[in-house]
Amino acid sequence: MKFLRHCLIGLTCMALGFLVVGQPWATQAQGAAPANGRPALYEFGSKYCLPCKEMKQIMADLQTSHGDQVEFRMVYVDEEKPLFEQYKIMLIPTQVFLDANGKEVDRHIGALAKEEVIQKLKELKFIH
């Protein structure tokens, strides 16, 4: 009985999380506009999350190869909780893509391969 109750509670929380994530989010983040008028990719995660650690390495690689065109920023829940709240981040890792004005144009929940990130940056015309 306890197991069933815990499963029901877990499923309810998960459903509510998906409902919140599916809601329209703020398109303009105050105080978080990308630097230098460049588009940005914010990677929301935790230092203790294995997929987040993989994304950290991918972000470092992308910073080296495309840092002149896009701002790449790691945002950790234990260090920048207000940004998590501002962008309504419910699950990690989450990538938020911002145009040069700081307007959110896309987001992805879950880890991405480096090639997938590059493809998304090309689709959004952030890189050539």
The share of the chain scoring above pLDDT 70, in percent, equals 72
- pLDDT value at 76 more than 70: yes
- Please state the length of the chain: 128
In CATH, which of 3.50.50.60, 3.60.15.10, 3.40.30.10, 3.30.470.10 is domain 37-123?
3.40.30.10
pLDDT band, residue 128 (cuts 50/70/90): confident
* pLDDT of 2: 58
pTM above 0.85? Answer: no
| Percent of the chain residues topping a pLDDT of 90 | 70
CA dist 54 and 46 (Å) reads 11
Nearest CA-CA partner of 36 in 67, 81, 4: 67
- Whose structure tokens read 């398109």? 27
